[in-house]
Amino acid sequence: MHTRTARIAALSLVVGTALAMHVACKAARPPSKYTQKLVILGFDGMDPDLVGQWMREGLLPNFKKLADQGGFYPLSTTISPESPTAWASFATGVNPGKHNIYDFLIRDTTTYIPDLGMVRREPPGFLFGYVPIKKPKVLSIRGATSFWVTAGNAGVRSSILTVPVTFPPEDVPNGEMLSGLPVPDVRGTMGTFYYFATDLSRYEEGNTEMGGILKRLDVQNDVASTELIGPPNPIVRKKIQELRVKSPTPSDSDRAAIAELQAREDVRVPFTIRWNRQAKTATVDIEGRSILLEPGKMSRWIDLDFRINLLVRVHGMAQMLLMNADHELQLYISPVNWKPDNPPVPISSPSSFAGDLFRKLGYYRTLGWAEATWPLNEGRMDERTFMEDLYKAFDDRAQVILNRIDSRDWDVLVGVIESPDRVQHMMWRLYDPKHPMYDAALASQFGDSIARIYRRADQFLAEVLEHVEPGTAIMLVSDHGFHSWRKAVNVNTWLVQQGYVVIQGQQPGDKKLADLFGGGEFWENVDWTRTRAYAMGLGQIYFNLRGRESRGIVSPGAESTQLADELSAKLLTMTDPEDGSRIVRAVYKRDDVYSGEYLNNASELQVGMEDGYRVSWQTTLGGSPQGIVYSNMKKWSGDHGGYDFATTAGMLISNRPIRRPSPSILDIAPTVLQFFGVSIPGAIDGKPLF
């Protein structure tokens, strides 16, 4: 049967797509009714103290010139000072209580299990478990209205490029949008990298704590056969879920069936590596192509197709880097990005826009988290390679912004580059001699990495100024600043010690980032009938609230208020056993700092850490390992999430003077609306700056 039906279905899919593209191309934007032009360049995580210092030292001449025309200010950020939260407030001009993005994680109040915040995913549908009938869908959980929609409805034309929290893309009236974070890779993660090597032990194989898949290579006659693990097959995944729902207490045969399905849950692409020991090169044969790799040289982008079944493929692309072909064979493969011209769900608005850019500019990264932080953190990539790749990530975003500036098809253009954030996360340890991971030899080579990316941003500003018309208003915006992260704090372990979290029996095992995507175990052995408060994410402490959490025991009202007072007072007394330093700088109570329709989703308390201390990775996932304060011995060494927002401001440089003495990131949206004479909706919390 199936061949004919299948062909018809495939054909109709193709025709459908072609029609959709045709319609999208027709919708050209009308000419502008505005003469004023506004460009906002976002540099994620750019720190006002560093910018100030380096402007004074003459390292950032173009920033300085711009600031001299208008001004340079710290830009007050959100609670918590995190990119998703702050950029959502940037877009909407409202506090998190009105836009619902409090952290990069949310939790399920029924199961307490954490999940990535920002989006909700709906899997595709298949007829007979085979013929695609419903496309996968991604829905944003962000509430409130972004300024580009409000302004667009009034006729302002916009170009919105790689701003965090713009995936899935919104329909922008009179505008275009290329999605930024959290566009995932083909595995649905924030960037799963691959590392294949002959010198990996069986013990090291598998998933790393922070998003990598490691595989040992067995070489025979200089050839190794292995496989690339692609997206989970939605059909198999659905069968696993059905089995789990059908039998909550699975029998041995159910268990065997689930294990058999899990073994083939991920779509795999087999490939071979031919090792030329004499030339110290290797050739990868994959999907009918041969790619010759030289050590230390990142390959071009390679198209990769992952076949779900005969009818459905996921189109991806990755780069390969032969790290060693001398005594050992070591191959790195980047996270598989969605192809810009053929993503499984739209990553731009109109949906053809990402593909149009691809045809003009060639390959560019679509993954929201575009930099190689995870392989560096896991010790599978060195600093030199990380920095080379980071410059390319910067350039990928920059070329899109310059191309759209030249199109002249906008009144307001917003382009965000996140590389400054990533370089600070990873290289702070070589800038801060007091960091436990400071290494004088490495610092002599890479100690200026952060400054170099700030200078790249300064140079990019000069390029932008060459491309815009004279008189264009320019704002440089960052969403938060940065701190050294010298010591990690197990907040949940502290809550266990203080009796707020009650564990029955064994201490739960360590959590991995992959557990978030792969249905790992969370909160095992936590006795919810006696647990009053629990920590998750970057500094959020949730109460186990009756009527909200499925096994809640704390009553809203007086009991909750009393618990908030008691717990915040205790948190403020936390000290470092090593030297008695204060760990917690401030604790913010929900009702004091947030207001709006999503207030109920906020944590009861938000901890604001002192410089040097951050909540541990295990705390973010709800884990409670032994010990409370320990040295951060990871390369991920600078941070901002969970620090006190009052000491973590972002920055603003504008070539127009600003009327308000202490601007906030909530003020940008109303500033844009006022700039174009669009009336500011009453729900907006920020105030116009010009």
Binding site for Zn ion (CB under 5 A): 421
How is residue 134 written in tokens?
């419903």
CB of 404 to Zn ion, least distance (A): 25
Nearer CB in complex with Zn ion: 389/421: 421
CA distance 208 to 206: 7
Burial 44-72, CB ≥16 within 10 A → b, else e: bbbbbebbbebbeeebbebbbbbbeebbb
Nearer CB in complex with Zn ion: 230/481: 481
Rounded-to-10 torsion of CA 657, 662, 667, 673: -30
Using the structure block, give the residue that is written with the tokens 């186990």. Answer: 544
CA distance 685 to 690: 16
CB of 45 to Zn ion, least distance (A): 5
CA distance 18 to 631: 56
Nearer CB in complex with Zn ion: 190/571: 190
CB of 262 to Zn ion, least distance (A): 33
Phi, psi of 664 (to 5 degrees): -125, 155
CB of 96 to Zn ion, least distance (A): 17
Single-letter residue type at 645:
F
Q: Which residue's Cβ has the minimum distance to Zn ion?
A: 421
Handedness of CA 120, 126, 127, 133 (dihedral sign): positive
CA distance 175 to 153: 10
Nearer CB in complex with Zn ion: 418/685: 418
Kind and range of the H or E run holding 377 = helix 373-377
CB of 508 to Zn ion, least distance (A): 27
CB of 638 to Zn ion, least distance (A): 8
Nearer CB in complex with Zn ion: 184/688: 184
> Count of CB atoms within 10 A of residue 599's CB?
15
Nearer CB in complex with Zn ion: 176/371: 371
Using the structure block, give the residue that is written with the tokens 């884990």. Answer: 623
Single-letter residue type at 215:
K
CB of 456 to Zn ion, least distance (A): 18
Nearer CB in complex with Zn ion: 639/667: 639
* Residue 413 vs residues 3, 33, 37, 220, 420: alpha-carbon distances, Å: 48, 16, 8, 55, 20
CB of 372 to Zn ion, least distance (A): 15
Nearer CB in complex with Zn ion: 319/377: 377
CA–centroid distance for 681 within its chain: 29
Nearer CB in complex with Zn ion: 493/648: 648
CB of 421 to Zn ion, least distance (A): 4
Q: 241, 254 in Cβ contact below 8 A? A: no
CA–centroid distance for 638 within its chain: 16
Using the structure block, give the residue that is written with the tokens 């595989």. Answer: 215
How is residue 27 written in tokens?
């919708």
CB of 85 to Zn ion, least distance (A): 11
Nearer CB in complex with Zn ion: 164/447: 164
